[in-house]
Amino acid sequence: MSRYVTRFGSLDHYEKGGVEIINDDPKHYTFSNMFDVASRSKPYEKVAVGKNMQYVLEVIRAEGTSEWRAAAHDEFALVMDGAVEIRLRKLADPSVVPSGKEGSIRLPGEPDGRKMGAVKARRGHMTLLPTGAAYQFHAERPAVILLQTIAGDDTQYRWAEICQTM
């Protein structure tokens, strides 16, 4: 009987891995590694590593403090490595995010509105980033966030750099 071992990667220790194509065309598949992407990203760049229609999974290297952001739709932040504080603020004026705008937008400075609190998330913790609220990430040490969202103006596509295609 075969024995399999599950290994969880981290920003400091990961193996790129790959996909073995048995009887098909490699261009039908892509493969990337979120820790590899985060290791080569600048803090708070939003790099798409998965896409399904308008929805994307973005890898974010959390390091230091991000700008404030908000979206016209819910987003979900899953901490994949390290620890991230997620600060939330109810927007006093939700119209700062245009209705129907896809993806999150950067807010100029600190937004007006009441503080909703902060979530201290570690590896494996998922946090809702709700519509009508602004959020800011803070990480004392480099961490990795996988953000489920809708592709927006700040979503970066680097398929040629990050994907195994053959």
| 54 in a structural domain | yes
Question: What is the predicted pLDDT for the residue at 154?
Answer: 96
Structure tokens at 100: 């129907």
User: What is the C-alpha to C-alpha distance for residues 138 and 64, in angstroms, rounded to an integer?
Assistant: 6
| 143 in a structural domain | yes
Question: What is the predicted pLDDT for the residue at 28?
Answer: 54
Q: Which of 104, 163, 103, 92 is nearest to 136 (CA)?
A: 104
Report pTM.
0.85
pLDDT digits (tens, 9 = 90+) for 17-64: 666 666 676 555 555 588 889 999 999 999 999 888 899 999 999 999
Structure tokens at 149: 């969202």
User: What is the C-alpha to C-alpha distance for residues 100 and 159, in angstroms, rounded to an integer?
Assistant: 27
Identity (one letter) of the amino acid at 156? Q
DSSP H or E segment with residue 120:
strand 115-122
Question: Domain of 72: which CATH number?
Answer: 2.60.120.10
pLDDT digits (tens, 9 = 90+) for 116-132: 999 999 999 999 999 99
| 93 in a structural domain | yes
Question: Which residues does 147 contact at the CB level (< 8 Å), separation at least 6?
Answer: 46, 57, 58, 59, 60, 75, 76, 77, 78
Q: Percent of the chain, pLDDT > 90?
A: 68
Q: What is the mean pLDDT of the chain?
A: 89
Q: Taken in order 138, 144, 148, 154, is the CA torsion positive or negative?
A: positive
Instruction: Domain count for the chain, please give it.
Output: 1
Range in 13-17, 104-108, 133-137 the model is least confident about: 13-17
| 49 in a structural domain | yes
| 17 in a structural domain | no
| 95 in a structural domain | yes
| 75 in a structural domain | yes
Q: Which residue range is the domain that position 113 belongs to?
A: 42-158
User: What is the C-alpha to C-alpha distance for residues 51 and 153, in angstroms, rounded to an integer?
Assistant: 15
| 148 in a structural domain | yes
